[in-house]
Amino acid sequence: MIEGATLQQVMDRLDVARRVLVIGHVSPDGDAIGSVAGLVLILRKQGKKAVGCIADGVPWFYRPLLADGLIRTPDEVKGATFDTVVTVDSSDLARLGDAQALLDGKPPDIVLDHHRTNRGFGRLNYCDPSSAATALIVYEIAQALVPVDEQLAQVLLLGVATDTGFFRYGNGDHRVLEVAADLVKSGASLPRIASAALENKTLHGLKLLARMLDTVTLAAAGKLAYGWVSAAMLAETGCTEQEAEGFVGEVRALHGVEVALLFVESPPGEVQVSFRSKSYVDVSEIALALGGGGHPRAAGCLLKVRGVREAIDTVVPLAARAVR
C-alpha cells in the first residue's frame, strides 16, 4: 500500500489497466458524478473497458448531462470482472455504500480524493486537500493523457462548479476559474450545469423544503442553525433523500450564522448529517469525531441512531462549542 502516491504513479498504474471499475460515493453530489464519469471517459478514450458505479445511481436531474451507460448501480455491474478498481471523491470505504461489496474484501487499486480526512484505504492513494474538487484531479489526468472534448469537459465542469458552490466558496481560487474557463472553451456549458443543479425542483421537493424550513432552529447566540428532514416527512411528501440535497445551503444562508447543520433520516435508524460553515469553524473536525469527514467548510457523517432527535442531541452541542 502506497501512502501519498504521486499522480504519475496513478497514471502509470492506469496505463497497464484494461478493465476498470470507477466507484463514487453514496448520495452523490456533482463532484462524485463528474469525477466518476470523467475518469471513465478518459479511460475509454484510451481504448480501455471502463464503467462507473454509484450505489444510489445518478439523481434524475443530473442524468441529461451524462451519456447513457457511463455510471451504473452495483446490481448492474455485479458479475463483471475488472483488473483495476478506482474510487473517487470518497474518504473511506463506508462512503461507497453497497458498491463496497464489489471489492470482494480487497482494497481498491487506486484512491483519488481531495478530502483531507481521507483514510488512505487503497493500494495507491492520491489525495490533494488543496484541490477544490476531485474533478480537478481528474482534469489533470485528462490534460496529461487525452484531448478534452465537449462531453468530458461537461462532466468535469459539473464537478468543479458544484463543489465550489458555483465559485462562491473560499476554495474557488484563480486556478479553479482558469480550469473552468478552459473547460468552457472545450465546449462545456455552465448555464446547462447550473440549470440541472439549481433549477430542477419538483413540487413535492418544494413541499419538503417548506417542511424542513419550518424546523430551522437557532442556537449558540444565533451563530448555529440547524434543520431536519425525518423519514416521515419524506414519506408524507413522496420524496427521496436525494431531494434534500442542497437544503443545508438554505440554512447556511441565514444572516449571522457561522455553522449550519442538516439532519436527514433515511432509512429509519440512520441519519445523514451535513455540516457547512462560512468562515472560521472547521466542520470537518466535528464530522471526523463522529465517524465522518470532509472539508473545513463542508463535511458530513452518518449516524446510527433511533431518530432525528437523538442525532440532534448528539451533534448540536459539539457544533455549539465550536462556534464560541
Q: C-alpha grid cell for residue 229?
A: 428532514
**Residues present in the chain in total:** 324
pLDDT single digits (tens) 39-52: 999 999 999 999 99
Q: Pinpoint the residues of the chain covered by CATH 3.10.310.30.
A: 203-323
Are the C-beta atoms of 143 and 9 separated by less than 8 Å? no
DSSP string, 64-115: GGS-TTSEE-HHHHTT---SEEEEES-SSGGGGGGGGGGGTTSPPSEEEE--
Give the model's pLDDT for residue 275.
Answer: 97
Helices (H), 221-278: 231-237, 247-252
- What type of residue sits at position 292? G
Cα angle 94-21-10, degrees, rounded to a multiple of 5: 90
Q: Pinpoint the residues of the chain covered by CATH 3.90.1640.10.
A: 7-197
Give the model's pLDDT for residue 324.
Answer: 83
Euclidean distance between CA atoms 12 and 1, whole angstroms: 15
The predicted model gives 51-69 an average pLDDT of 94
Q: What percentage of the chain exceeds 90 in pLDDT?
A: 90
pLDDT single digits (tens) 158-208: 999 999 999 988 777 899 999 999 999 999 999 999 999 999 989 999 999
Q: Predicted confidence band at 216 (pLDDT cuts at 50, 70, 90)?
A: very high
Please check the confidence at residue 1 and state whether its pLDDT lies above 60. Answer: no
Indicate the class that CATH gives domain 203-323.
alpha beta
Euclidean distance between CA atoms 93 and 114, whole angstroms: 15
| Cα atoms found within 13 Å of the Cα of residue 186, Cβ hemisphere only | 21
Bond into 59 cis (ω within 30): no
Worst-scoring range by mean pLDDT, 1-5, 41-45, 208-212? Answer: 1-5
Give the model's pLDDT for residue 261.
Answer: 99
Give the model's pLDDT for residue 2.
Answer: 59
Please check the confidence at residue 226 and state whether its pLDDT lies above 90. Answer: yes
Give the model's pLDDT for residue 48.
Answer: 98
Mean of pLDDT over the chain: 95
CATH 3.40.50.800 fits 7-197, yes or no: no
Euclidean distance between CA atoms 193 and 170, whole angstroms: 20
